[in-house]
Structure 1
């Protein structure tokens, strides 16, 4: 079915042109979103694998944690450390460790090198720096 543009009024032609522009913009946004999703997946896959393998949590748990972190402003994230700073496994972004937080884990002190850190120093060594070594 082909449209005979010569049969359209100026108003109809302008409306059609606007529809075409909107469709092109929608497709470009969809393409950008797909590209961003692929990049995010490639970045997050190693972390998700480490999290699920070391904690025994499911993929759903890991994805829920990621989504929680995406919806929360990292600047408002607060950590409630135990009084002696002994590592306590966070249950989500609401009690994740912030960059610079210091904990004691298996007799050693560590400083978090990242925000929203929910892993132990053995589960995710890149997220912690041993101090007083």
Structure 2
């Protein structure tokens, strides 16, 4: 872009627009960071309550929060950008599904509700939630 033909008012206006956009993007980044902190706090609290009650973390979360938020927390507050593939039978700890992992099983997308999940949604439905 050739700025030499622009008036000082036009340049000032452009600088203001750019600065506003940068400020907006900084706010979005700060909001995302704050949401990730909230997610971590909820996760820690839920784990503490789960340990005290002798139940899974997801059972605690599901008593107090909508399922969409539980899914969001399970993904670390990052949204649903996780890659989804067909469910495959895990053969080791490294290939087992962990909390927040998603898989397609018999045409339905599921999210794993616990770590080291080695069973299909059909064989172990309490370990999965259909999305």
TM-score in terms of structure 2 length: 0.38
Larger radius of gyration: 1
Which TM-score applies when normalising by structure 1?
Answer: 0.38
